[in-house]
Amino acid sequence: MHPILFEIGPVTIYSYGFFIAIGAIGGLVYMARAAKKQFGVSYDQSNTLFLYIVIAAFIGGKFFFLFENPSYYLSHPAKLIGGGGFVFFGSLLFAIPTMLWFFGRNKIPVLPMLDVMAVVTCIVHGFGRIGCFMAGCCHGKPTDSFLSVVFTNPVCQAEPLNTPLHPTQLYEAGMIFSIMAFLLIFKSNKKFDGQMFLIYLIVYSIGRSVLEVLRGDIARGFVIEDWISHSQFIAIIVTAVSIYFYVKLKRKGKLLKSNSQANGRR
């Protein structure tokens, strides 16, 4: 749409990077305040954690992006490292163990802090998808829908240009911010620690699988050609694992509550 936000002399501000930065700042501010208020986590610890997550997300996003065209990127590693391609699920799956390691090392309550990180992830990812829309990447298929968007800027990554396409980036941004709004409303009524994070994983993964049907950037690759993309395959696994832990933690929460009530009646 508008891959270049503005130019000041020799300095060019790209829309994708700008919105990623906005999301990162917003996510860091929310995390630092919530972690400080709820768990006494210092701002230095929050800054360090966020830095670790950014590094892990970068490595994970690039690692999974490699599978879109392994032979090409193994032959041209500079294109992999220096290019703009990322796979969100790769970033997420590398970020989660990094967070768990950091929480354990610094004696931060793991499950309650993961609930905070669910909102943080929505902030960063939601603004990131707006950046995708501005850059034209992660675009949708051609459509006659009234929701269609036409990309005309030759610098943007959308294909084909001058053709009505599904704005899948905005669909996903809307979904992510809707999940975030729900989590913020729901947090005072959660039944067990970790519930918000697992709800985020389940709902996002299902929604992402549906939106993949509308994606037009077929170069991202398929596990089963034209049927299941890499992201859909990962989403299925993430959903299954998240549902398993959701049921397990819910049962554990009910058991603890039942034991607490029984002890209270003694």
Residue 128: the pLDDT is 94
CA atoms within 13 A on the CB side of 222: 11
Q: What percent of the chain has pLDDT over 90?
A: 67
- pLDDT bin (cut points 50, 70, 90) of residue 264 is low
Structure tokens at 60: 């994970």
Mean pLDDT, residues 23-27: 96
Give just the sign of the alpha carbon dihedral 38, 127, 210, 219. Answer: negative
User: Which residues are 224's β-sheet partners?
Assistant: 228
**Residue whose C-alpha is closest to residue 206's, from 247, 180, 237:** 237
**Residue whose C-alpha is closest to residue 13's, from 153, 92, 131:** 131
- pLDDT bin (cut points 50, 70, 90) of residue 233 is very high
Using CB atoms within 10 Å of the CB of residue 197, give its burial: 0 to 12 exposed, 13 to 18 middle, 19+ buried.
Answer: buried
Tell me which of 11-25, 51-65, 249-263 is least confident: 249-263
* Distance of alpha carbon 127 from alpha carbon 133, whole angstroms: 10
- pLDDT bin (cut points 50, 70, 90) of residue 7 is confident
User: pLDDT tens digits, residue range 110-162?
Assistant: 999 999 999 999 999 999 999 999 999 899 999 999 999 999 999 888 989 99
Helices marked H in 83-229: 88-105, 110-135, 168-186, 195-212
Structure tokens at 132: 């995708």
CB 171 within 8 A of CB 143: no
Distances (CA, A) of 182 to 90, 200, 254: 25, 10, 23
Compute the CA torsion angle 81, 83, 87, 91 (nearest 10 deg). 40
- pLDDT bin (cut points 50, 70, 90) of residue 81 is low
Residue 179: the pLDDT is 98
Residue 66: the pLDDT is 74
Q: Quickly tell me which residue has 């603890």 as its tokens.
A: 256
Q: Which domain holds residue 58?
A: 4-264
Eight-state DSSP code of residue 214? T
CB 70 within 8 A of CB 77: no
Arithmetic mean of pLDDT over the chain: 89
Compute the CA torsion angle 95, 97, 103, 104 (nearest 10 deg). -160
154's CB contacts (< 8 A; 6+ apart) are 161
* Distance of alpha carbon 77 from alpha carbon 65, whole angstroms: 12
Domain count, the chain: 1
Higher pLDDT, 17 or 170: 170
* Distance of alpha carbon 86 from alpha carbon 169, whole angstroms: 14
Residue 88 has pLDDT above 70, yes or no: yes
